[in-house]
Amino acid sequence: MILERARAKLNLALHVRNRRADGYHEIETLFAFVADGDEVCLTDAAAPSFAVSGPFAAGLAHEDDNLVLRAVRGFDAAFGVQPPSAIDLIKRLPIASGIGGGSADAAATLRALARRAGVASADARLIAVAEALGSDVPACLLGVTAIGGGRGERLREVAGLAGTPALLVNPGVTVATRDVFAAWDEIDRGPLPDGDAATIAREGRNDLAVPAKAIAPVIGEVIDALDRLDGVTLARMSGSGATCFALFGTMAQRDTAGALLRAAYPGWWCLETVLS
């Protein structure tokens, strides 16, 4: 049995620079990861199978295809058909929520398949499979704090903020990434700032927050609620939403904030974690 954690991804900053001729957008983003997320378990089996469980399993229950299964097919195409396996996905992260749940699941599947096949994680063929699966999958495959360019697939590691207390909050709505990017006003507000991860996060922004809040105004309520909490050093939306995050100075401040938000907004999903 091979177990891989599909850790939640955060965009500590996300600058949209332009709309490309291929339909994608040129972005500059600061990727970071937290200690918690989904889990992918791969076990040798007589016949291939896929099962999903966990708090958010219902969102995938009726899908005939998903990024985990596409990752398996992509790996087989790149490295030859592999022995059959049973894949169990424990879905703990909200679906379509801006924290890379599906992309992280696909990347964890690729890592598990690579471990079983003896393929190095830096193998160019594996990275190519990740790039074909989605813009965030290469960053999730790498799994460390990094600056992403292009669609997000051009990665450069940067000194991170490991151990920083974080609170993730999702108000229970989904927003389609395509719709949020389509609503971007096409104004280039400039590149990521220079510096280490802390500087980039503090001085950066998320250019998708305004269009996302226009689609789902509750996102603005989440950010405002986070901004009012004691000890917050940064509050921002991740990716195209709807999950938002706050970074804190201490674990105690984070835990107190989580308890306050759960009491005030019982319908919101909250996760107390740390940057990894």
> CA–CA separation, 112 vs 146, rounded Å?
22
The residue from 9, 36, 105, 207 that is catalytic is 9
DSSP H or E stretch at residue 39: strand 25-44
Give the sheet arrangement for strand 269-274, strand by strand.
Answer: 232-237, 244-248, 165-170, 269-274
> CA–CA separation, 13 vs 208, rounded Å?
10
> CA–CA separation, 202 vs 41, rounded Å?
36
> For residues 186-198, b (16+ Cβ closer than 10 Å) or e, as one string?
eeeeeebeeeebb
Burial class (CB in 10 A: 0-12, 13-18, 19+), 137: buried
The residue from 36, 38, 105, 136 that is catalytic is 136
DSSP H or E stretch at residue 253: helix 251-264
Q: Which residues are 51's β-sheet partners? A: 88
Annotated active-site residue 213? The verdict is no
Cα dihedral sign, 172-209-237-175: positive
Query: Which residues, 6 or more positions from 108, have their beta carbon under 8 angstroms from its beta carbon?
Result: 4, 5, 6, 38, 39, 40, 140
Annotated active-site residue 9? The verdict is yes
DSSP H or E stretch at residue 14: strand 2-19
Reduced to 3 states (helix: H, G, I; strand: E, B; else coil), residue 15 is: strand
Catalytic residues: 9, 136
